Chain A
Amino acid sequence: MSIEFCGLQLAHPIINGSGTFDAIAARRVFGEQLLEDFPFAAYVSKTITLEPRAGNPPPRLWETPAGLINSIGLPNKGLELTGGAERQPAIPLITNVMGATAEELSRLVEACDARAEIAAVELNVSCPNVKTGLDIGADPRQLEAVVRTVRGRTRKPLIVKLTPNTADVSACGLAAEQGGADAVSLINTLRATALAPRGRFAGAGGADGAGAQRDRWLGGGTGGLSGPAIRAVALAQVAAVAARVAIPVVGMGGVQSAAHAQELLDVGATLVAVGTESFRDPAAGARIAQGLR
């Protein structure tokens, strides 16, 4: 089952989606046993930004039919990356970074390049361009330019996490490849929102106009949908991208079982990431990897 991905040797093809497993918190809860039984073949960090972020005001979660909308807001300590004192699981660390511009991303990627414990870098390009308001990763031309700039700042494998909130995800995958990405990962969450139940406390008002007469539930206004509700979308997008690029693809979206992971592998993914299912069962990654053997 051992597998090669961008020069990294992994014990199996199951990793975690960024932001869905906090290894430090999990170790506080589950103790040393977690490191022995670590459920993933590589560990993807939550997103790190240049400046510290507190995250969005609550409420941050909304349960949907077979899914979850989250509006967490990428809380993190900023470029002061989580450091060395903690014992890490003996698997490759993939650090996920997000910036609003190529320059911000470049500084983050350079910082990662200098850290020996980081095996690869994943770019979160689902950040709005401050000028256009569009996600950097939603426009193939902009995405290719950003990836090309960042590419020059590290020799470590560079994974671009594609956004599904775009007209043509395979064009974005191709743009990432042409910009110099070593791999692409998809899908990120689908943009979604929820209205507050009538008579209930709510978070934000109708920040973007829609629903202005009734409160939004999420403190951040909108969020991202994940879970089995998006699995069929993920399968279609992973298949479309894998058919168009030559670099490896990390597929994810609503995977709950080995059979679901196998579907993504069957349409061309090299690795499969497990995300929201780990919320329901922290050992889900190990269960799914075991089921693939």
Chain B
Amino acid sequence: MSEERAASALFGRRLLTVTGMDELGAYRVLRAVHDDGADGADGGLAGGWAPVPGQFAMLAAVERWGGGEGERPYLPRAFSIARLSDGESQFLLEDVGPGTRRLCELRAGDGLWALGPLGHGFQPPSAGRRALLVGGGVGIAPLAILQDTLASESPAVQASVLLGFRDRTRAEGAVLLDGASVATDDGSVGYHGLVTDLLAAELQRDPYAVVYACGPAGMLEGIRALCAKRQTPAQLALEAGMACGFGACFGCVVPRRGGGYLRVCLDGPVIDAAELEHVDQHAGAAA
């Protein structure tokens, strides 16, 4: 998870081929490869090096991108890389708008435009500190590859996983990670309540843990506030509506503590919680 490896994506979007679309409760796992095969370490995205957990790709269907309801989608959509497996890149989808709906329709053999890996990912914890991976909803995606990478590259790091979901069909997504403690809003699975309650209890037990989080803005704000109060380091993977993913459009900004803005695509998507005064609602239309 070194910074050097994240230095460059290939210039230009890449044509991937969809290899599968797996149902996972309310979600779908989109799997895709690049035809050149390479050695598979990059999930088909770029020149042979693995993405850093937390990095993302801009995705668009090759066929019928546009022409849906309201003549959308038009722009590509940003997705965390959820996992690399057998030369495939995997992305976690939830149908919440015209772009995600069209991507959910893809089937094996269909073409997928992908630009990436993009952005800054998670940094591993310093020696001796435990990693607490905290995810909510479809935002659990980058925590899966983070868990994989910590296990393979930082085997000394102990990692615990806390996941929150709205209901039972969404909680099925928890199988993406090993050994997750689950909370649901409706109490249908696991703890009845917010995942931040589980986090507070964990931090009570182990005040030296480091938090890695991705999920809805309300959850991230809860985590930010909790970690700020306890002086716990937290790395938050943010989401924002973005047109390009590579710093060109300046559309995906979030306010930076002390003034000005951060570009989520370039300065993030993983941002040190100390850089933020507050995690605002996602500045994006239904994707």
Interface SS majority for chain A: loop
Contact B253 A22 (CB under 8 A): no
Interface residue from A66, A197, A276 paired with B71 (Cβ < 8 Å): A66
Cα distance A286–B280 in the bound complex, in angstroms: 37
Stretch at the interface among B27-35, B134-142, B244-252: B244-252
Minimum distance in angstroms from B176 CB to a CB of chain A: 27
Contact B285 A217 (CB under 8 A): yes
Q: Does B155 contact A (CB under 8 A)?
A: no
Contact A33 B8 (CB under 8 A): yes
Interface residue from A26, A58, A59, A203 paired with B248 (Cβ < 8 Å): A26
Question: Among residues 182 to 220 in chain A, which have CB atoms less than 8 Å away from a CB atom of chain B?
Answer: 197, 201, 203, 217, 219
Contact A63 B74 (CB under 8 A): yes
A281-B13 contact in complex given A59-B284, A60-B253, A62-B285, C-beta closer than 8 Å: yes
Interface residue from A29, A61, A63, A197 paired with B9 (Cβ < 8 Å): A29
Cα distance A59–B255 in the bound complex, in angstroms: 11
A282-B12 contact in complex given A29-B118, A217-B285, C-beta closer than 8 Å: yes
A-contact 0/1 string along B79-117, CB 8 Å cutoff: 000000000000000000000000000000000010100
Contact B9 A276 (CB under 8 A): no
Minimum distance in angstroms from B216 CB to a CB of chain A: 12
Contact A60 B250 (CB under 8 A): yes
Residues of A within 8 A of B253 (CB): 55, 58, 60
Interface residue tally of chain A, by bracket? 35 or more
Contact B75 A63 (CB under 8 A): yes
Q: Does B259 contact A (CB under 8 A)?
A: yes
Minimum distance in angstroms from A173 CB to a CB of chain B: 28
Q: Does A237 contact B (CB under 8 A)?
A: no
Q: Does A21 contact B (CB under 8 A)?
A: yes
Interface SS majority for chain B: loop
A-contact 0/1 string along B1-19, CB 8 Å cutoff: 0000001111111000000
Question: Among residues 256 to 284 in chain B, which have CB atoms less than 8 Å away from a CB atom of chain A?
Answer: 259-261, 263, 266, 280-281, 283-284
Minimum distance in angstroms from A111 CB to a CB of chain B: 22
**Most central of B8, B13, B248 by chain A CB within 10 Å:** B248
Q: Does B210 contact A (CB under 8 A)?
A: no
B-contact 0/1 string along A277-289, CB 8 Å cutoff: 0111111001000
Cα distance A286–B11 in the bound complex, in angstroms: 11
Interface residue from A31, A61, A66, A278 paired with B251 (Cβ < 8 Å): A61
Q: Does A133 contact B (CB under 8 A)?
A: no
Residues of A within 8 A of B281 (CB): 201
Interface, chain A (partner B; CB < 8 A): 19-22, 25-26, 28-34, 37, 54-55, 57-68, 70, 72, 75, 197, 201, 203, 217, 219, 227-228, 276, 278-283, 286
Give 20 CB contacts A-B under 8 Å.
Answer: A29-B118, A54-B260, A54-B261, A55-B261, A57-B255, A59-B241, A59-B283, A59-B284, A60-B250, A61-B243, A61-B284, A63-B73, A70-B249, A278-B248, A280-B13, A281-B12, A281-B13, A281-B113, A282-B13, A282-B248
Nearest first, the 7 A-B pairs at minimum CB distance are: A25-B247, A31-B8, A65-B71, A283-B12, A58-B283, A61-B251, A279-B244
